[in-house]
Structure 1
Amino acid sequence: MAKGKKKSRSKSKFKKTKKKKKSFLLFPRVLQKWSLIIIGLLALLGLLASLNFPKLTMEKNMTSTDETTVAFIAEIGETSRYLAAKNDLYASVMIAQAILESDSGQSQLSQKPSYNFFGIKGEYNGQSVTLPTWEDDGKG
């Protein structure tokens, strides 16, 4: 052998051939991924359906007061969330206070024309409403 020359080896001897993995499903590889995703989603839906079962049972045992409160939350919920986000407040606290102060929207003060859900006392444009409250027994 001459100096400086290296014996060349054929690359094909060292080239590794990749074996195709056998498919565990009878579908093409693209469909295999989608079928696994679909199976996973169906399993998740089954889990969510089973978690919803106690809620359905609870609704059967609701009293009329509970139903009134749920309806009241549904009525004021979106507006409360909007106002809370706009003013950096907690909608849940606003809703809870409105439930407490207005008896879930059933108190006289929370009805037309006042819509006062929070028991706020005061006067607006020279108008006010006088109603008995627990805080004042009329003797000052």
Structure 2
Amino acid sequence: MKYPQLKLDNQICHRLYMASNSVVRAYRDALNELELTYPQYVVMMALWEEDEISIAQLLEKTAIDGGAMTQILKKMTDKSLLAVVKDETDKRKRVVKLHKQGIQLQQQAANIPEQIRCRFPSITQQEATQLITLLDKLNTDLS
């Protein structure tokens, strides 16, 4: 090979791409039971942490693209999981608020993180913590 720096096995980005795809696939079965896609699950986790937040706050928490978020919120509204309403103090802002069904879904989702964690038996808890730290550094550097 003329340019060894272009060898696929030397690329961090490709490993991240493969890992991302694998992780999303790992979630698929558990999330199908909840009738959620992975991005919808991310939105729900953000809202379970803090309900009644602005769309801007939700975008910041989840790092989901604004256009994609619009579609996600519409589909989740159609499923009666949440509502997008005008902010009472600033009518220009929109606030996302969980419906009862969305709140109840949290109990069904409670065991998903452990189910997924069990899919990585060769990674210790210390290594998982280290991986989170490294990925946070990577995301900070790239943003």
Q: Could you state the TM-score of these two structures normalised by the residue count of structure 2?
A: 0.27
Query: Which structure shows the higher strand fraction?
Result: 2
Larger radius of gyration: 1
Structure 1 or 2: more helix by fraction: 2
Whose relative contact order is higher, 1 or 2, with alpha carbons under 8 Å and at least 6 apart?
A: 2
Q: TM-score, normalised by structure 1?
A: 0.27
